[in-house]
Amino acid sequence: MDHILSRVVLFAFDRHHYEDQDYHGHKDKFMELRSQLESKALVVQVLCNADAADFMSSEFQLEGVKAIILTDPRMTKYPAIAPIIVKLVAWVRAGGTLIMSSLFSTMVEPINFEKFIRNAWGLPWKYVDYSEHLCIPNLGHPERYWEGPYAIKPYKMMAAFLEDVDMEDRVFVREDDETDDKAAAVILKPFGEGRLGWIGDVNNEVGSMQVLLAMCRL
């Protein structure tokens, strides 16, 4: 039997961010993320609302997908995308993995993010700030990425941090946060039978690329 590569799907709707080399270096960051994923999986890129609607309606296309990654925040802005969000939520609840990463966390407006995460996912997550910190693993997270094949160590990242996240869902938190509600840069939450993830790093640090691959189980 031929070896079949795992598949990862990128929802990348704001194409000018990825195609314009002068747009704050975003093209390089996106291509680096894609290259890392292509070393482990077949990457499928979905570029517009209509294609996303078709993709989410096809059991054949969804079969064998390891994860869907939202790589930009367009999905948080436009009412016309609401039917796609409903399908994404149902897919995750049934066992899929959805990760918000790359330019999503770089460019999402806090008010839009909080509406999206509350209205679509029923979660109280709040945007804290965009800053640089040494981040350490939350030793209570069940997937334990700091052990085993990934062995991801504490690392410094410029990231969008979130709060009001259940402690057991936080993967990496600020090392210098002395409060009980430590701001999280990386989150992975069980959602129904599936998982919902957030990677706040905006610079594609090596640790964050390892976290992404681990979340996709590649």
pLDDT digits (tens, 9 = 90+) for 18-49: 555 455 556 677 777 788 888 888 998 888 88
Q: Reply yes or no on whether the pLDDT at 68 is more than 90.
A: yes
- As a whole number of angstroms, the distance between CA 216 and CA 66 comes to 6
User: Of the given ranges (20-29, 81-90, 130-139, 209-218), which has the lowest mean pLDDT?
Assistant: 20-29
Per the document, the length of the chain is 218
Where along the chain do its domains lie?
A: 7-125+189-215
Q: To 10 degrees, what angle do helices 26-38 and 206-215 make?
A: 50
Q: Give which of 9, 27, 8 is closest to 17, Cα–Cα.
A: 27
Residue 18: the pLDDT is 53
140-180 pLDDT, tens digit per residue, is 888 877 777 777 889 999 999 999 999 999 999 999 877 66
Least confident of 20-24, 61-65, 96-100, 165-169: 20-24
CATH architecture of the domain formed by 7-125+189-215: 3-Layer(aba) Sandwich (3.40)
Instruction: pLDDT band for 2, please (50, 70, 90 cuts).
Output: very low
Q: What are the pLDDT digits (tens) for 69-86?
A: 998 888 888 777 888 999
The pLDDT assigned to 4 comes to: 56
Residue 123 phi, psi (nearest 5): -115, 150
Phi/psi region, residue 18 (left: phi>0; alpha: psi -120 to 50; beta: rest), is alpha
111/126 Cα distance (integer angstroms): 9
C-alpha span between 187 and 190 (Å, rounded): 10
Q: What is the dihedral of CA 74, 141, 207, 8, to 10 degrees?
A: -50
The 10 Å Cβ neighbour count of residue 74 is 21
Give the model's confidence band at 125: pLDDT under 50 very low, under 70 low, under 90 confident, else very high: very high
Quick check: 205 pLDDT over 60?
yes
Q: What is the mean pLDDT of residues 43-68?
A: 85
Q: How much is the pLDDT for 162?
A: 96
Across 22-44, b (16+ Cβ under 10 Å) vs e yields eeeebbebbeebbebbeeebebe
Rounded-to-integer distance, Cα 125 and Cα 116, Å = 10
pLDDT at position 99, please?
97
Contact 40, 6 (CB under 8 A): yes
Region 2-20: mean pLDDT is: 69
